[in-house]
Amino acid sequence: MIDPEALRAQLGRLIGADRLLLQPSDVAPYLVDHRALYRGRTWAVALPRSVEEVARIVAWCNEQRVGLVPQGGNTGYCGGATPDESGRQLLLSLRHLNRIRALDAANFSMTAEAGCVLASVQQAADGIERFFPLSLGSEGSCQIGGNLATNAGGLNVVRYGMTRELVLGIEAVLPDGRVFDGLKSLRKDNTGYDLKSLLIGSEGTLGVITAATLKLWPQLRSSATALIGIAAPADAIALLGLLRAAAGERLSSFELLPRIALELTMRHVDGVTDPLGTPYPWYLLCELTATAPEPLSELLQQTLAGAAERSLLLDAAFAGSERERAALWRLRESVPEAQRRSGASLKHDISIPVAQLPRFIDEASAWVGRHVADGVLVCYGHAGDGNLHFNVNHLDSADAAARRAFLAREPVIRRAIHDLVASYHGSISAEHGIGRLKREELQRYASPVGLDAMRAIKRALDPNGIMNPGKLL
């Protein structure tokens, strides 16, 4: 049995009572995940303001054997930042650890604390005429610490890579309360195991990330963006090859959308319109960018004209201004919100080798068509990275009983889709992580040798199992 009052009093003495939230109404928003799949309980939310305070909290939790759940912007999709229902775990919010510690234009780097909201990191880079390329629909609320902890992907991976590739150094409090100061801003550092890489993507199970030194790039000076209507995903893959050959690393985004995704955004999100007028079965949102003034619009138009001659596309709308570019991106970035508003949805964040996307989509869509009569497939995502959000939305979520019946079939639907992904040597979590949602899936699909190694690492760093218990492993 735990005694919440005694724990609150002890921790309050250690870091100051003003660093704790205790009132149920203050604590409540921290206890439910973004998708409202999980509702947890806690005896307090700790809001440290310095690394030293984080270290004291973690060391104390380790001594007391109190489970600790780190939380960033709470936009994660896998329930990783929500405590369990026992009420024994402490929720640690990083939101007040939010200083930009250093900006170094000459070194193309910056050091940001974990609680900095991603959009503010992007703005800080912009302020020194540099560019931080991580971009996600949730960037107004997710935090850089959460992005690192989940190794977030997003909209620019085709050019810049996942979060792991954007990080030079990391500072973290390890489960025994010691601070690992790995805040190097070096491009080359082969001094043994790469602890930074281990902590990135560890979803709060190996320590609390408190700050990171991030890579910056030159600011973008030109861009060309188009929404392209296509007949089928096979054309997307052919177009990807053509654009890569023509534009090289200037290709920074390559997103695939089905018609239903546009219809949902137009129905549920104010101000979204279809720039093409005529409906097409599928769309691509492509963007070329460059750090010097370059005629990218011509390059994109010429490449697409060549593709049209080969019947690889049906139509295209080019952004003629920054406003039109923003409208195209709004259309794409609103899809998750539109899907959420349209009712219950079963999400599958999968990846497979890019060239096999069309065959996978055919096979998996046919399965959904045969087995989920009350669902509609909304399959979109970062096709340039082989990453699909293969989501199935309920058709009639106003009927509560029908909705429950739909959700009850999730395990069967998930199993079929993930088994198919496995047969393509794909991943059952391309960018959203494992958290609590996919823990059993990881056991089923990960290599047993890899899982053993992961468990050994977890035991070695966190022998008392205090860091985010019940998540990932």
Residues that bind ligand MLT (CB under 6 A): 137, 335-336, 347, 381, 389
State which of residues 169, 201, 336, 469 lies at the interface with ligand FAD (CB under 6 A).
336
- Residue 157 neighbours by CB under 8 Å, 6+ apart: 382, 384, 385, 387, 431
219-222-226 Cα angle (round to 5): 125
From 89, 109, 111, 138, residue interacting with ligand FAD (rule: CB under 6 A): 138
Report yes or no: 195 and 182 within 8 Å, Cβ to Cβ: yes
Cβ atoms within 10 Å of 366's Cβ, excluding its own: 10
SS3 135: coil
Nearer of residues 33 and 235 to ligand FAD, judged by Cβ: 33
Distance from first CA to last CA of the chain, Å, rounded? 25
109 binds ligand FAD (CB under 6 A): no
Q: Which residues contact 280 (CB under 8 A, 6 or more apart)?
A: 229, 230, 231, 259, 314, 315
CA 28 – CA 22 distance, rounded (Å) = 10
Nearer to ligand MLT, 381 or 386 (CB): 381
State which residue, 229 or 381, has the beta carbon closest to ligand MLT: 381
CB 374 within 8 A of CB 407: no
Stretch 156-185 residues interacting with ligand FAD (CB under 6 A): none
Interatomic CA distance for residues 446 and 442, integer angstroms: 5
**Which single residue brings its beta carbon nearest to ligand FAD?**
146
Helix runs in 151-258, H state only? 157-160, 195-199, 233-247
Instruction: Provide DSSP, 16-64.
Output: -GGGEE-SHHHHGGGGB-TTS--B---S-EE--SSHHHHHHHHHHHHHH
Indicate the residue type of 418: H
Q: Which has the closest alpha carbon to 220: 345, 132, 98?
A: 132
Out of 42, 62, 111, 150, name the contact with ligand FAD by CB under 6 A: 150
Which element (helix H / strand E) includes 358? helix 357-371
Instruction: Please report, as residue ranges, which positions from 67 to 86 form the binding site for ligand FAD (by CB under 6 A).
Output: 69-77, 80-81
- Report the partner that residue 347 touches, choosing among ligand MLT, ligand FAD, none (CB closer than 5 to 8 A by kind): ligand MLT
Nearer to ligand FAD, 175 or 336 (CB): 336
- 94 vs 266: CA distance, rounded Å: 35
Residues 30-69 that bind ligand FAD (CB under 6 A): 34, 69
Q: Give whichever of 201 and 336 is closer to ligand MLT, judged by the CB atom.
A: 336
For residue 402, the one-letter residue type is A
- Per DSSP, the chain holds a count of helices (H) and strands (E) of 17, 19
Q: Which is nearer to ligand FAD, 156 or 303 (CB)?
A: 156
- Type of residue numbered 91: L
Question: How many chain residues are in contact with ligand FAD, going by CB under 6 A?
Answer: 38
Q: In what order do the strands lie in the sheet with 20-21?
A: 20-21, 45-46, 90-93, 68-71
Select 158 or 209, whichever has its Cβ closest to ligand FAD. Answer: 209
Closer Cβ to ligand FAD, 227 or 335, answer by number: 335
Contact pick of 67, 153, 233, 384 for ligand FAD (by CB under 6 A): 153
Q: How far is the CB of 166 from ligand FAD (least distance, A)?
A: 12
- Does the protein bind ligand FAD through residue 209 (CB under 6 A)? yes
Point out which span in 14-22, 131-139, 270-278, 313-321 binds ligand FAD (CB under 6 A).
Answer: 131-139
Least distance to ligand FAD, CB of residue 129, Å: 26
- Select the span of 10-18, 179-187, 200-208, 397-405 touching ligand FAD (CB under 6 A): 200-208
For ligand FAD, give the closer residue by CB, 264 or 313: 264
Site mask, ligand FAD, residues 254-283, x = CB under 6 A? ------------------------------
Q: Please report whether residue 94 would count as binding ligand FAD according to CB under 6 A.
A: yes
Binding mask 419-448 for ligand FAD (x = CB under 6 A): ------------xx--x-------------
Q: For binding to ligand FAD (CB under 6 A), which residues are involved?
A: 34, 69-77, 80-81, 94, 114, 136-138, 142-143, 145-147, 149-150, 152-154, 203-204, 208-209, 336-337, 431-432, 435, 468, 471
